[in-house]
Amino acid sequence: MLEMQRPKTIAELPVQHPGAPASPAEARGRFFNTGNGFDVKLPPVPDHIFTAEPALALAADTPTGLIACDIAAELACRFPATSPLVLARYARIRAGETLATDFAATGVICYVIRGAGSSTGAAGGVAWNAGDLFILPGGMAFVHVSTVDAVLWIVTNEPQLAFDSLRPPAPGDAPTDIVHFTAAEIDRQIELIYDIGRDQGIAGSALIFSSERQEASRNILPTLTLAMNSLPGGAMQRPHRHNAVAVSLIIKGDRCHSVMDGRRKDWAPWATTVTPPGSVHSHHNGGNGQAMFLIVQDGGFFYHARAMGFEFAEQPG
């Protein structure tokens, strides 16, 4: 190598190939080093809010179908994604019509924004109403039927499987059965939390959803956590950060907003919001009524890796 071409440091070395591979398997090898092996430039998860998607799902003339909250281009993902490992959608099902789904996911989280109907597959079925939350096993098809115009919020870990080119679980092998949380039971559990109260060392008054098979981990799926956070009128949730991303559905809240790394983020009805991992954020209720938002996080990964990274923090500035 000529002196003028010689890198000054190993960080300047391009990827290296085998010098004299004796087989196709050897030729596929590539070599980096401690100077350039960790210099991977990925775009950050944006502080994003989806408002056009719920407006379309709730519009009177929208046909039956799925509307994805997809920012794959901003994330440099080769597959649809709301965050690197999570995909949220709105499902519109017109009265008397059906919607068939078969997501390549470990499991499916569904919240009923409005309407009534049922979801049925080989694993069984569930009849749902507005305000209900239900979980479906991945790896199998379901048919969703509405008796009145319905809109569902559906969240899966399809990006997680797509990233690693994994197949969904075989029928019967998913880590969850069908689980149904009715609106009345959710309200009862939230009332219990407020009746007992908490100290300031607890981050908010959130109801955490789990199931019989995931009880030990307290997650809803092995890699996903699910919580209904609530905030009384005039209250705020203390600034904090965590390594997990948060994909949230705004259920109700008048004059509410969040602050993300010092920037104000106003809520919108039924919007899907993304809280980037590691960002310092707080939630503020400027109205008189209780605010509620449903949160899906990829927290199961970080719990398992012992790297949740939760801490209270002060907002920048």
Domains and CATH numbers, the chain: 48-312 (2.60.120.10)
Distance of alpha carbon 126 from alpha carbon 120, whole angstroms: 7
Top-confidence residue, 143 or 40: 143
Residue 224 CB partners (closer than 8 Å, separation 6+): 86, 106, 107, 109, 155, 157, 296, 297, 298, 299, 300
Instruction: Report pLDDT for 1.
Output: 44
Give Dmax (Cα) for the chain: 76
Mode of pairing for the β-strands spanning 263-266 and 256-260: antiparallel
Residue 281 has pLDDT above 90, yes or no: yes
Q: Which tokens sit at 254? A: 């008048």
Condensed to tens digits (0 to 9), the pLDDT of residues 224-258 reads 999 999 999 999 999 999 999 999 999 999 999 99
Instruction: Report pLDDT for 204.
Output: 63
Find the angle CA(256)-CA(54)-CA(160) to the nearest 5 degrees: 95
User: Residue 82, SS3?
Assistant: coil
Residue 2 has pLDDT above 70, yes or no: no
Residue 201 has pLDDT above 70, yes or no: no
* pLDDT (average), residues 119-127: 97
- The number of CA neighbours under 13 Å toward the Cβ of 159 is 23
Provide the whole-model pTM: 0.94
Mean pLDDT of the chain: 94
